[in-house]
Amino acid sequence: MTCLALAEELKTYKLPNGVNLVVSKREDTQAVALHVWFRVGSAYEDYHQKGMAHFLEHMLFNGSEKYPYGQMDYIVEGLGGNINAGTSKEYTFYHITIAKPYWKEALEVLYQLTQKPLLLEDMVEKEKPIVIEELRRGKDSPTTLLWEEFEKLFYKVSPYRHPIIGYEETIQKFNRDMLLEFYKNFYQPRNMFIVVVGDVDHQEVHAEVLKTFGKERGQPVPKVDILPEPDKFENRQKVIKDKRVERAYWLIGWRAPSIGSKEYYALVVLDQILGNGRTSLFYRELREKGLVYSVSTGDFGRPKDNLFFVSATLDEERFQEVKQRTFELIRTLKERLTEEEVRKAKERIINAEAFAVERVEREAYYIGYALTVVGLLDYYKYFESNIRSVRREDVLRVLENYILGKPYSEVLMVKER
């Protein structure tokens, strides 16, 4: 979760009803991305609501006051645009990418979609089999199961331990009233972040947003305490056997600095050094030496209880060897890491951002994520300078404070014979 600073092009507005709006003007493209983010995801659900944030995301496409069911798809696709949405553990967002002349129509669609949904009972029933098919489709993939099991092992208290999509038992019981309550709690102006990226006029966007989203009166948003995960002192391990897999999957993770914290930028640099791209240490020493078929690293970009992971596919019989070598590489990094490697890693991160934001929807996503999840636009604006300020000792400190000799959780998925 990284992004590039373009501070001079950004305008931010706070509407009287609490809506946050960020407009990024870009002259190098004819495409406009419009995003509406809400600070609510599956981590905000209580036990009976498991899967509701995601279910609600589906339901919003089932008709609004102005546009009957199906019409929004026709409008956006008829204008050559794309409309979609996504739900995570911390956020839900709705987005359209469309040619420049049609951004106002797109904004109106997003307004109706997110602020005027009908949430009809018969549509709730219509949507259940679709979402259950989505859930089963996920279960049909061994890698989805692997990641679900990994979070279940890593988090024992935090709601992060539950899958976003929820459970068949909870989904089957959803009804209009439950959804309406959840909707009213969280789809409020004060919980909303609108991002527009493209060759648009700041003030014009501001005026249009005032005319639509700005009209909503809104009400306070209930404060949800996402239970923190207590410190753990032991390593946790789990082996899963699955008939379908043809190779072993290994996932190992440690607690990591929260996104946006000072230490986080050092983690991003460490991640680049260890597992990002073909120049990374693990790619060279594990993949190119034939120990694994693939290897990658990353973090979950979470505002608390974040985690850093290493993921690899390998032959089951080489597991111990791979694990030992991985730990050895991490351990010896302390002595081997040079200033030059840190400098190069930083350059790679910063340079890569120019490619990442070529697509307007990518830039809008970064801004939306910074606002909604990190809670700080500065995360986006000053990302580059924060990465530049990371020193070798910062990288090593993160390594020592979070990874070396620290408790980990690991899942190994192997073939059931």
Partner 1 sequence: MMFIIILLFVIGISFGGGKVQELVLPNGLKILVKETRGKGIVSGVIFIKSGTHGEEKRGVTNLTATLLTKGTRSYDAYQIASTFEDYGGSLYASAGDDLLEIGFSTKVEGLGQALKVIRSMLLEPLFSEEELEREKRNVLQALRSRRERGQEMAMDALRRLTYKDSNYEVIPLGREKDVKEIKREDVIKRWQSILSAQNTVVSLVGDFKADEVLPLLKETFMNLPQTGYRVAPQEVRMEKSLLERVKRPGSQATVMCAFDAPDFKSQEYFAFKVLDSVLGDGMSSKLFKELRESKGYAYAVYSTYPTRLSSPRLIAYIGTSPEKKENALRDLLDVVKNSPINPEDVELAKNKIVGDFLLAHQTRLRQAWYLGFFEAMGFGWRIDQTYPELIKGVSFDDVRKVREKYLKIEHCVTVEP
Binding site for partner 1 (CB under 8 A): 28-31, 61, 70, 73-75, 77-83, 97-102, 105, 126, 128-131, 133-134, 136-137, 139-143, 243-247, 277-279, 284, 288, 290, 293, 313, 344, 347-355, 358-360
Question: In the complex, what is the shortest distance from the CB of residue 89 to partner 1, in angstroms, rounded to a whole number?
Answer: 20
Q: Closest approach of Cβ 392 to partner 1, in Å?
A: 18
Closest distance to partner 1 from the beta carbon of 309 (Å): 20
User: Which residue lies nearer to partner 1 by CB, 100 or 156?
Assistant: 100
Q: 192-198 and 31-38: which strand pairing?
A: antiparallel
Shorter beta-carbon distance to partner 1: residue 139 or 236: 139
For 14, the token pair is 């706070």
In the complex, the smallest distance separating the C-beta of residue 246 from partner 1, rounded to whole angstroms, is: 4
Percent helix, percent strand, percent coil in the chain, to nearest 5? 50, 20, 30
**Which helix H or strand E contains 105, and what residues bound it?**
helix 103-115
Min separation Cβ 266 and partner 1, Å:
19
> What is the rounded distance in angstroms from the CA atom of residue 85 to the CA atom of residue 83?
7
- Least distance in angstroms from the C-beta of 136 to partner 1: 5
Q: Which residues pair with 22 in a beta bridge?
A: 12, 195
Secondary structure (DSSP) of 142-155: HHHHHHHHHHHHH-
For residues 231 and 3, give the distance between their C-alpha atoms in angstroms, rounded to a whole number. 30
The nearer residue to partner 1, 170 or 306, going by C-beta atoms, is 170
Q: Six-digit token pair at 232?
A: 């753990």
Of 48 and 289, the one with the shorter C-beta distance to partner 1 is 289
245, 326, 144, 277 alpha-carbon torsion, rounded to 10°: -110
Question: Residue 119 or residue 245: which is nearer to partner 1 going by CB?
Answer: 245
Query: What tokens were used for 12?
Result: 């931010």
Taking the mean position of all CA atoms in its chain, how far away is CA 71?
A: 29
Q: Judged by CB, which is closer to partner 1: 17, or 144?
A: 144
